[in-house]
Amino acid sequence: MSNDNLTHFGFQEVNEGDKEKKVAEVFDSVASRYDLMNDLMSAGLHRLWKRFAVAQSGVRKGARVLDIAGGTGDLSLAFAKRVGVEGQVLLTDINNAMLTHGRDRLLDRGYPVPATQCNAERIPFKNDVFDCVMVSFGLRNMTHKDAALAEMRRVLKPGGRLLALEFSRVWKPLAPLYDLYSFKVIPKIGQLVTHDAPSYRYLAESIRVHPDQEGLKSLMESVGLEKVEYFNLCFGVVALHRAYKF
Ligand code: SAM
């Protein structure tokens, strides 16, 4: 088999066809405790990172927003509050367990956001329909990130914005401490809370093989996104990339 068919699943090299299955296993396993784990692992910081992303979106009342890899729906909820009844938010995810959890959670809070199960590499919507497309902590798990980004660009209206919130490359002096936390502490928390340390080991590994800030910026430019910029959060533990379609 040629190397072209291999991709990363954390630090493992796997066949491209197997990555989707393995990522699905991770999210099937963690879905029910996903929100709790996010709060525990980040000490609640993920809420601030997401709030910052929404603040940078420029989304106003009446806007149409697409939440890609939206999972349990944190971003969909925040955007639904912003766009009001005049606007529309669509929650999407490849994983049925995460999506169902997200859809139900939004309904419980009084936001009946439509949910669509789909792969970000093949978005089932027409060209030029969304004011904003958001992908939060999802891109890292995708097999063909360039194809997914091209699809996100395709469905944006001219003038629309893409926001990608993702783990990135931490400021070098902090790397040893961050490595210790992510490779030693996080899998232990995962084991205690979800009885699944390997899924949280995958989380730590997948961050290391994901493009860094400049790498993701170049990837976005390579699919025709413009005016790409990024904001480092917590010394680059996370970065928010913002880009436009013109
Ligand atoms: N956006 C949510 C958040 O910020 O809390 C959930 C992020 S969760 C870490 C990653 C999500 O990406 C999972 O729900 C997973 O099912 C989804 N995902 C992975 N690969 C995908 C793909 N190719 N297309 C769409 N969603 C995908």
Whether pLDDT at 95 is above 80: yes
Q: Is 134 among the domain residues?
A: yes
The percentage of the chain sitting over the pLDDT mark of 70, rounded to a whole number, equals 98
Q: What pLDDT is attached to residue 2?
A: 45
Q: What's the rounded mean pLDDT across residues 54-78?
A: 98
Q: Is 181 among the domain residues?
A: no
- 138 alpha carbon to ligand 1 midpoint, in Å? 4
Q: Is 185 among the domain residues?
A: no
Query: CB neighbours of 197 closer than 8 A, spacing ≥ 6?
Result: 187, 188, 190, 191
CA-nearest residue for atom 10, ligand 1, is 138
Q: What pLDDT is attached to residue 4?
A: 60
Q: Is 205 among the domain residues?
A: yes
Q: What pLDDT is attached to residue 171?
A: 97
How far apart are alpha carbons 67 and 46 in whole angstroms?
16
Tell me, what CATH number does 211's domain have?
A: 3.40.50.150
Per-residue pLDDT band for 5 (boundaries 50, 70, 90) equals confident
How far apart are alpha carbons 38 and 48 in whole angstroms?
12
CA-nearest residue for atom 4, ligand 1, is 136
Q: What is the mean pLDDT of the chain?
A: 95
- 182 alpha carbon to ligand 1 midpoint, in Å? 19
Residues in contact with ligand 1 (CB, 6 Å cut-off): 23, 27, 69-71, 74-75, 93-95, 98, 119-121, 136-138, 141-142
End-to-end CA distance of the chain: 40
Q: Is 182 among the domain residues?
A: no
Q: Is 150 among the domain residues?
A: yes
Q: What's the rounded mean pLDDT across residues 53-78?
A: 98
How far apart are alpha carbons 14 and 22 in whole angstroms?
9
- 174 alpha carbon to ligand 1 midpoint, in Å? 27
Q: What pLDDT is attached to residue 1?
A: 42
Q: For a substitution probing ligand 1, which of 9, 18, 27 has the most ligand atoms within 8 Å of its CB?
A: 27
Q: Is 116 among the domain residues?
A: yes
Q: What's the rounded mean pLDDT across residues 116-132?
A: 98
Q: What's the rounded mean pLDDT across residues 25-33?
A: 90
Q: Is 237 among the domain residues?
A: yes
Per-residue pLDDT band for 50 (boundaries 50, 70, 90) equals very high
Q: What pLDDT is attached to residue 155?
A: 98
* Nearest of 6, 33, 65, 85 to residue 195 by alpha carbon: 33
Which of 32-36, 149-153, 222-226, 239-243 bottoms out in mean pLDDT, i.e. has the lowest?
32-36
Whose tokens are 């890609």? That residue is 68
Query: 118 or 9: which carries more pLDDT confidence?
Result: 118
Q: For a substitution probing ligand 1, which of 29, 34, 35, 94 has the most ligand atoms within 8 Å of its CB?
A: 94
Domain extent at residue 76: 3-172+200-244
Q: What's the rounded mean pLDDT across residues 205-214?
A: 95
| pLDDT tens-digit series, residues 143-158 | 999 999 999 999 999 9
Q: What pLDDT is attached to residue 17?
A: 84
- Phi–psi pair at 96, nearest 5 degrees: -65, -40
Number of domains in the chain: 1
Q: What's the rounded mean pLDDT across residues 9-28?
A: 89
Query: CB neighbours of 227 closer than 8 A, spacing ≥ 6?
Result: 243, 244
